């Protein structure tokens, strides 16, 4: 089987399948841009993030992987499922990823840190598909047990920061509040340099950094 996806701007195509490799293609020329290697069994899904900077893949090796689409580097391996990962999906703002599996579980991850935020059980057979609600607050799953389940989600730290600040932090603000942690866009739907409401006081979210998990 083959899974395919367009990048949000339509310039790239992702393909993946049983050969374990994931390929990114130039949609205009058909030229292979990069080959993403790391899965050890077939890949069931490959989907771009809302801003096109990342790709999430789901494999029969029990892992989902997050990739940088510009460099081809694997940013995180999400490896907690006990069986094939049948699907993966970014939230509308790109801050979270949902994975579903043959193990009948649904897991929610923080995109920036790779940390597991929540695990949902209840299905009695493989979970085949997952989608986020338009506001990113819920996920809907469909299973081979012939049921669909709707779940409410915990907030992600990056999504909460975006909501509270109303914009991406500048890099200097990021360094001031979060030290040497690698810069991450908190509002992936906006450009990193977008500083709308530039004068919004950071006191609107005091000490939020204490709630952000440390990398590693």
- The answer to whether 152 and 117 have CB atoms below 8 angstroms apart is no
- Over the stretch 29-55, which tens digit does the pLDDT of each residue have? 999 999 999 999 999 999 999 999 999
Question: How far apart (Å, rounded) are the C-alpha atoms in residues 97 and 111?
Answer: 6
Across the chain, mean pLDDT equals 82
pLDDT tops 50 at residue 67 = yes
Rounded to 5°, the CA angle 64-91-125 comes to 55
Spatial distance between the Cα atoms of 141 and 137, rounded to a whole number of angstroms: 14
- Torsion sign, CA atoms 49, 87, 41, 22: negative
For residues 134-160, give the mean pLDDT. Answer: 84
Give whichever of 68-82, 90-104, 146-160, 175-189 has the largest mean pLDDT: 90-104
Bridge partners, residue 78, by sequence: 64
Q: Sign of dihedral through CA atoms 152, 156, 159, 165?
A: positive
pLDDT in tens, 166-209: 777 788 887 877 777 667 766 655 444 333 333 333 333 333 33
Give the bridge partners for 32, in sequence order: 25
51-65: pLDDT as tens digits: 999 999 999 999 999
């Amino acid at each position: 089987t083959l899974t395919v996806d367009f990048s949000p701007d339509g310039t790239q195509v992702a393909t993946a399948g049983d050969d374990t490799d994931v390929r990114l293609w130039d949609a205009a020329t058909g030229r292979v841009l990069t080959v993403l290697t790391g899965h050890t069994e077939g890949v069931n899904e490959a989907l771009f993030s809302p801003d096109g900077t990342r790709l999430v893949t789901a494999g029969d090796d029990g892992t989902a992987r997050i990739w940088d689409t510009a460099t081809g580097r694997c940013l995180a391996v999400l490896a907690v499922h006990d069986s094939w990962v049948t699907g993966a999906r970014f939230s509308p703002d790109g801050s979270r990823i949902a994975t579903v599996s043959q193990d009948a579980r649904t897991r929610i991850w923080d995109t920036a840190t790779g940390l597991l935020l929540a695990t949902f059980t209840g299905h009695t057979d493989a979970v085949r598909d997952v989608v986020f609600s338009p506001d990113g607050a819920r996920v809907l799953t469909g299973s081979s047990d012939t049921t669909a389940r709707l779940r409410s989600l915990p907030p992600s730290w990056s999504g909460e920061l975006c909501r509270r600040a109303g914009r991406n932090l500048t890099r200097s603000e990021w360094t001031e509040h979060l030290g040497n942690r690698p810069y991450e866009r908190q509002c992936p739907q906006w450009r990193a340099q977008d500083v709308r409401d530039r004068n919004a006081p950071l006191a609107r979210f005091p000490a939020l950094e204490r709630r952000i998990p440390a990398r590693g």
